[in-house]
Structure 1
Amino acid sequence: MLPMDPTKKISFQRLISEGDLVIVYERHDHMKAVKVCCGSVLQNRFGVFQHTDWIGKPFGSKVLSNKGGFVYLLAPTPELWTLVLSHRTQILYIVDISFVISYLEIVPGCLILESGTGSGSLTTSLARAVAPYGHVYTFDFHEQRAALAREDFEKTGLSSLITVEVRDIQGGGFPENFCGLADSVFLDLPQPWLAIPSAGKMLKQDGVLCSFSPCIEQVQRSCESLRTNFTDIRTFEVLLRSYEVQEGRRECTGDDEGDPLGSLPCKRKQCSSGRSNGKEKSDVHTVMVRPCSEARGHTGYLTFARLKCL
């Protein structure tokens, strides 16, 4: 095994210091990224938090405000960064990202080509997947967007694993110096079929390509282009349904027949006054589970293909 390069080691088992990026966690749907600076403060509905009080604490710490309110200081993992980053473009979320990394067979040491960079949500997770020996080369035709992505990767400590370049992959293809070197290629482009021939040249034998497209018409044209040099072409739509879990109370009459939950232990019941149809009523503490009312639906289609062996 090659010796580990300390400049590429990703570890959050350390103490917070000035200049670090932390994710301030209020609740699962309310977080923000904050750079720690001596003398600075964070104000929210829980009070005023002094950055100086954060320095020296380990990531994951619970810190108090001047009013006694609290937040948690979390490490900027790719999963959390995806939830707080600035949306310069539509982004991929964890449900798609995890599927992509798995089906592209990405492991530490891989060389990955990506186009386009966008807001850098996927790029961040790719970098962690290839660390500490691999590298992600990501391309975007928009110069300002590429510059902002570089800044974000500096903030999250991943710049040694990611190279951002300005290039029109649809028009000019990938740089020729990557021919036959890439383990995987990921495309998030309006017309991915224009970049597929170039992507095929970049891949190693048996390498895997993935194309993300929001519309099925894009998938159809991409698959037509893939047939020339690729095999095992498959398209997926990954849908996630999350549930809310809450403790609640419900009234019952003591007759559990027909109750889909079955009979509940007596020690979990609290009797209340009154009877219903001659039966004693009671309030039952129980855990209620139901689908979230605001579930994220279709994001896009993921098309995978493997380069044909010569």
Structure 2
Amino acid sequence: MLVLDSSKKLSFNRCISYGDLVITYERHDNMKAVKVCEGAVLQNRFGVFKHSDWVGKPFGTKVFSNKGGFIYLLAPTPELWTLVLSHRTQILYIADISFVIMFLEAVPGCVVLESGTGSGSLTTSLARAVAPTGHVYTFDFHEQRADSAREDFEKTGLSSLVTVGVRDIQGEGFPNELSGMADSVFLDLPQPWLAIPSAGKMLKKDGILCSFSPCIEQVQRACETLRSNFTDIRTFEVLLRTYEVREGKMDSCQGDAGVSVGSLPCKRRRRSSEGSNVLESQSSSIAMARPCGEAKGHTGYLTFARLKCLS
């Protein structure tokens, strides 16, 4: 768990207090971000939950309503925040995010530049990766989106790690004062090739750039621009297939070598009280796994490149 400071909301190893942001968990596909307020309540199908009952309890606690229903109070980790944040734009999900952080080599102390901010899904994970001594500078040309993202980072306790700027990176490039400071740069732009020259100036020697694009034509044009000042150019498509694991019933029969599982029920005879034969089914409870019916497919292509070291 990430701990920045005892006064910061991002410190998840302490107990919940008023003003904290909590993720209320009903089930894996039903979660909600709630700010803990004095006198407030949360109402759902399980009953009424008083915020005052949450105060003083550690994150991860199971709390009960007036009807006996329950929810879990979870810490707003980047993974959970990605699932509950307001979608102001199309966001990156966990599979892409984890891949980006690994290949950008984002570690504590790094400086990362990002454009555009969007809903702040990736920004949140980047901030945790570079904490406690690194920093993320993120830019969006849309002022209202930037303001909303800034408010979200304040809620999740990331404001000391993230600086949000309003700037058209495609048209103006990154600010000159950041030149040579960045360990890595992430671009999520419709025309990333326009920002690549400026991104190269921001990177330290051997720095890494990543460009996210939904269309292969964007990838091709970006790669053409990258060839002049970058090396080790690679493009990936991350596809995630999720499985649901549930308890199910499977009929089984006793064979000579033990228990075998089949697709048809196994019947056995027993003698009824009247003396007639009755067929019975034998079944057992097992864990069954199958692909989710609403698995997320293609989101986009990730292109990585490393700045050439010029002698």
One fold, TM greater than 0.5? yes
AA matched with 2:145: R
What is the letter of the counterpart of residue 100 of structure 1? V
- Verify the 8 A CA contact 1:254 1:281 in the aligned structure 2: no
Residue correspondence of structure 1 range 180-195 to structure 2 within 5 A: 180-195=180-195
CA distance in 2, matches of 1:6, 1:74: 18
How far 1:249 moved relative to its partner?
1.1
Aligned residue number for residue 77 of structure 1: 77
- Whole-angstrom distance in 1 between the partners of 2:7 and 2:160: 7
State how far apart, in whole Å, the 2-side matches of 1:8 and 1:44 are.
29
Distance 2:197 2:41 in 1: 52
1:166 aligned partner:
166
Residues 1:263 and 2:259 are matched in the alignment: yes
Distance 1:274 1:239 in 2: 50
- In structure 2, the residue matched to 1:118 is 118
User: Counterpart in 2 of 1:237?
Assistant: 237
Q: How far 1:15 sits from its partner (Å)?
A: 0.8
DSSP 3-state at the match of 1:95 = helix
Q: 1:5 to 1:203 in 2, by over 3 A?
A: farther
Specify whether residues 112 and 7 from structure 1 end up closer, same or farther in structure 2 by C-alpha distance, changes over 3 A only.
Answer: farther
- Contact 1:127–1:135 (8 Å) recurs in 2: yes
**Compared with structure 1, are the counterparts of its residues 7 and 233 closer, same or farther at alpha carbon in structure 2 (3 Å cutoff)?**
farther
Residues 144-223 of structure 1 mapped to structure 2, 5 A cutoff: 144-223=144-223
Segments of structure 1 that go 5 or more residues without pairing to the other structure are none
Q: How has the CA–CA distance of structure 1 residues 170 and 159 changed in structure 2, closer, same or farther, with 3 Å as cutoff? A: same
| Cα shift at 1:8 | 7.5
> 1:45 corresponds to which residue?
45
| Cα RMSD (Å) | 2.2
2-structure distance, mates of 1:222, 1:167: 21
Deviations 1:155-175 (A, max 9, x none): 000000000000000000000
Aligned residues: 296
Kindly state the Cα deviation for residue 179 of structure 1 after the two structures are TM-superposed: 1.0
Q: Contact 2:248 / 2:288 at 8 angstroms: preserved in 1?
A: yes
Name 1:249's counterpart in structure 2. Answer: 249
Structure 2 counterpart SS, 1:98? helix
Dislocated runs of 4+, deviation >3 Å:
4-10, 252-257, 262-265, 270-275
Percent sequence identity over aligned pairs: 77
TM-score scaled by structure 1? 0.90
1:98 deviation in Å?
Answer: 0.3
Q: Is the 8 A contact 1:274 1:281 kept in 2?
A: no
* Inter-CA distance 186–175: structure 2 relative to 1 (3 Å threshold): same
Could you tell me how far apart the structure 2 residues matched to 1:201 and 1:9 are?
A: 35
Counterpart Cα distance in 1 of 2:199 and 2:112: 11
The alignment partner of 1:263 has SS state of strand
**3-state SS of paired residue (1:239):** coil
Is residue 24 of structure 1 aligned with residue 17 of structure 2? Answer: no
| Structure 2 residues without counterparts, runs of 5 or longer | 271-278
